[in-house]
A and B are shown apart, each in its own frame.
Chain A
Amino acid sequence: MDVPWKKPGAKLPVLEGDKNMSKQTINFMLNSQKVSAQVESDSRLVDFLHEMGLTGTKLGCGEGDCGACTVIIDGQTANSCLVLAPQIDGKEVTTIEGLGSYEQLHPLQEAFIEEGAVQCGFCTPGMLLSAKALLDENSNPKREEIIRSISGNLCRCTGYTKIANAIEKVVRSKS
């Protein structure tokens, strides 16, 4: 039967026992905490985060289109479905779990709630991290720059207007 992985030349999914690749140790900063972990060479960052119990990073497409899995690596946003876990060795990673807490929300989180910028919530963590990366770099962005900063994050229910309004609210409150 013609399933994608049975096409000529296609590789079968690799099983644990077949792996030539060994696990490797990585050291990195995760949400301001030092972490040392053993990772599979072919493990995606998004899956590795879920294995660590950090499920706030969402997987929407697995191919870098939707931005639901956005995290911040050394100040830059990245789709964690397109990053291999070993690639974060020596780097600083921020996920949604590092943005705020029940006790102390980040101003962006507060604004998203206030402005009604959260509906199904699946794009929300990625949106918030894209917005944070923008504000960390530029504390007084124009509306167009805000819109550009979330252009890699797809939303299907809330709509972009309220999300941009929420980010703009944080900018205005700071300036």
Chain B
Amino acid sequence: MQELNVVGKSVRRKDALDKVLGKSQYSGDIKLPGMLHVKVLRSPVAHALLKNIDCRAAESLPGVHAVLTAKDIPESNTHGIIIKDEPVLVMDKIRKIGDPLVVVAAETEEIALRALSLIEVEFEELPAVFDPEEAMKPEAPKVHDGGNIQSIRKIRKGDIEAAFAHADIVVETSYRTQMQEHAYIEPEAGVAYLDGDVVVLRVSTQNPHFDCKEVARNLALPLNKVRIVQAPTGGGFGGKLDISVQIYIALLAIRAKRPVRLVYTREESMLASTKRHPYVIKYKTAADKNGKLMAIDVIVIGDTGAYASYGPGTLTRSAVHATGPYEVPNVRVDAYTVYTNNPTAGACRGFGVPQLAFAHEQQMDMVAQRAGISPIQVRLLNALRPNSQTGTGQVLETGVGFVETIEVAQAKALEVLGRIC
């Protein structure tokens, strides 16, 4: 075969040299002439009606260049990757701790912080809901006007009732998984400045094209007047797909007519960013006496927090992956995306699949126990193979490596442990 320059070779990362020398310019490292510093005032309560914001004392503080509230957003005041349900700055209702209320641009970070402390906010607290199952009840406090069940994804295949009626083994368990912070090592950061009539952003982001559309929409600018440059990004794991600093800094660069910089502290990053969806999974499995799967009946409840973010997409993935890497002839899945007053949950490594894997793998172990076979036997017996049909009816023709993976793992276990589990 012909020798190629790159393919088949071990190549150096293009950015590795700058990174080992400390020369990479992450957005927080960028200094621009006359650059102002931005801070965000955030809600200390989870659910409240916003009555009034008095910024007068903050505005008159020397060194403060702009103090902006929802009224200063030229258009839309909404963002969101799937549904535009999240305000850039809260107009009338606070839905979570950390909801943004006011942004300030000042000569120094200290002056911006002092300005925040001078802002008077009046709000009327509302009863809040923090448990997704509670939130699904009709009497629960409503996070959004349309109700707390944001969406339902359903999968139906075969005859569930008949399968459970004839099953020798039925395993029924409830699982709960926890919220998880991505904790990328670089907190969210960005700088914005004007290049003629184009607002330029250098930001820590995973989603520059989406950022561009959201900034343009909220600022009532055509797309070609907004330029987003992804700065070297210190980790994301799905958590930097949503909007963080982008709209604030674009707006303030235009209003203050000066370059601006916003770098979240770690505390603010944890407070404001999305999380992995915590799940409630009610999983029921039917199998024959040999451990062959007959049916699954699964309810998945994903707590998406105050705003949808990637919730509907995450729960769709969970529904599709509820069967795991196994062939199941009869399937019923209901996957709910539910609003609460918790931190917003969004994309996070695995996108709804790890939560389900936690559940279906424990189900498989329990089926094996009941059938009197080993955990490996039950998996091989039910494994997806070439020409298997998935829970959504797709026939997998090629690229089904599950059985080979188990066999390699088995051989490795024998080598390392001297036995097969």
Question: A residues engaging B (CB < 8 A)?
Answer: 1-3, 5-6, 12-16, 50, 54-63, 66, 68, 95-97, 99-102, 105, 109, 112-114, 116, 118, 120-125, 128, 154-157
Q: When the two chains form their complex, are residues A56 and B186 in contact, meaning their CB atoms are under 8 A apart?
A: no
Please report the C-alpha to C-alpha distance between residue A15 and residue B62 in the assembled complex, in whole angstroms.
10
List the B residue with the shortest CB-CB distance to A112: B20
Question: Would you list 5 pairs from A and B whose C-beta atoms are within 8 A, ordered by A residue?
Answer: A54-B22, A55-B22, A58-B186, A97-B21, A121-B234
Q: Check: B113 CB closer than 8 A to any chain A CB.
A: yes
Q: When the two chains form their complex, are residues B21 and A121 in contact, meaning their CB atoms are under 8 A apart?
A: no
Contact of B185 among A1, A57, A96, A120 (CB under 8 A): A120
Q: Check: B255 CB closer than 8 A to any chain A CB.
A: no
Q: When the two chains form their complex, are residues B113 and A5 in contact, meaning their CB atoms are under 8 A apart?
A: yes
Q: A60-B186, A112-B16 are contacts. A15–B111 as well, Cβ < 8 Å? A: yes
List the A residue with the shortest CB-CB distance to B234: A122
Please report the C-alpha to C-alpha distance between residue A50 and residue B28 in the assembled complex, in whole angstroms.
10
Contacts of A154 in B (CB 8 A): 185
Contacts of A1 in B (CB 8 A): 41, 44, 119-121
Please report the C-alpha to C-alpha distance between residue A110 and residue B22 in the assembled complex, in whole angstroms.
13
Contacts of A116 in B (CB 8 A): 13
Q: When the two chains form their complex, are residues B110 and A120 in contact, meaning their CB atoms are under 8 A apart?
A: no
Q: A58-B234, A62-B265, A156-B237 are contacts. A113–B186 as well, Cβ < 8 Å? A: no
Contacts of B19 in A (CB 8 A): 118, 121, 124
Q: Check: B12 CB closer than 8 A to any chain A CB.
A: yes
List the A residue with the shortest CB-CB distance to B22: A56
- Taking residues whose C-beta sits less than 8 angstroms from the other chain, chain B's interface range is 35 or more
Q: How far is the CB of A135 from chain B (nearest CB, A)?
A: 15
Please report the C-alpha to C-alpha distance between residue A155 and residue B234 in the assembled complex, in whole angstroms.
10
Q: How far is the CB of A101 from chain B (nearest CB, A)?
A: 7
Contacts of B182 in A (CB 8 A): 156
Q: How far is the CB of A61 from chain B (nearest CB, A)?
A: 4
Q: When the two chains form their complex, are residues A68 and B22 in contact, meaning their CB atoms are under 8 A apart?
A: no
B36-73 Cβ-contact flags toward A at 8 Å (1 or 0): 00000100100000000000000000010000000000
Q: A120-B235, A155-B185, A156-B183 are contacts. A113–B13 as well, Cβ < 8 Å? A: yes
B88-124 Cβ-contact flags toward A at 8 Å (1 or 0): 0000000000000000000010110110110111000
Identify which of B24, B121, B265 gathers the most chain A CB atoms within 10 Å of its CB: B24
CB proximity to A under 8 Å, residues B127-160:
none
Q: When the two chains form their complex, are residues B117 and A15 in contact, meaning their CB atoms are under 8 A apart?
A: no
Contact of A120 among B44, B111, B117, B234 (CB under 8 A): B234
How many residue pairs link A and B with beta carbons under 8 A? The number is 124
B245-271 Cβ-contact flags toward A at 8 Å (1 or 0): 000000000000000000001100000
Q: When the two chains form their complex, are residues B110 and A13 in contact, meaning their CB atoms are under 8 A apart?
A: yes
Contacts of B44 in A (CB 8 A): 1-3
Q: When the two chains form their complex, are residues B266 and A121 in contact, meaning their CB atoms are under 8 A apart?
A: no
Q: Check: B26 CB closer than 8 A to any chain A CB.
A: yes
Contact of B21 among A15, A109, A155, A156 (CB under 8 A): A109
Contacts of A99 in B (CB 8 A): 21-22
Q: How far is the CB of B31 from chain A (nearest CB, A)?
A: 8
Q: When the two chains form their complex, are residues A68 and B185 in contact, meaning their CB atoms are under 8 A apart?
A: yes
Q: A60-B266, A123-B185 are contacts. A13–B117 as well, Cβ < 8 Å? A: yes
Q: Check: B171 CB closer than 8 A to any chain A CB.
A: no
Please report the C-alpha to C-alpha distance between residue A156 and residue B16 in the assembled complex, in whole angstroms.
16
Q: Check: B184 CB closer than 8 A to any chain A CB.
A: yes
Contacts of A125 in B (CB 8 A): 22
Contacts of A101 in B (CB 8 A): 21
Q: When the two chains form their complex, are residues B12 and A113 in contact, meaning their CB atoms are under 8 A apart?
A: yes
Q: Check: B17 CB closer than 8 A to any chain A CB.
A: yes
Q: When the two chains form their complex, are residues A58 and B26 in contact, meaning their CB atoms are under 8 A apart?
A: yes
Please report the C-alpha to C-alpha distance between residue A123 and residue B44 in the assembled complex, in whole angstroms.
31
Contact of A113 among B17, B26, B111, B183 (CB under 8 A): B17
Q: A1-B119, A3-B116 are contacts. A55–B29 as well, Cβ < 8 Å? A: yes
Complex A-B, nearest 7 residue pairs according to Cβ-Cβ distance, in ascending order? A56-B22, A122-B234, A121-B19, A96-B22, A55-B29, A109-B20, A1-B121
Q: Check: B3 CB closer than 8 A to any chain A CB.
A: no
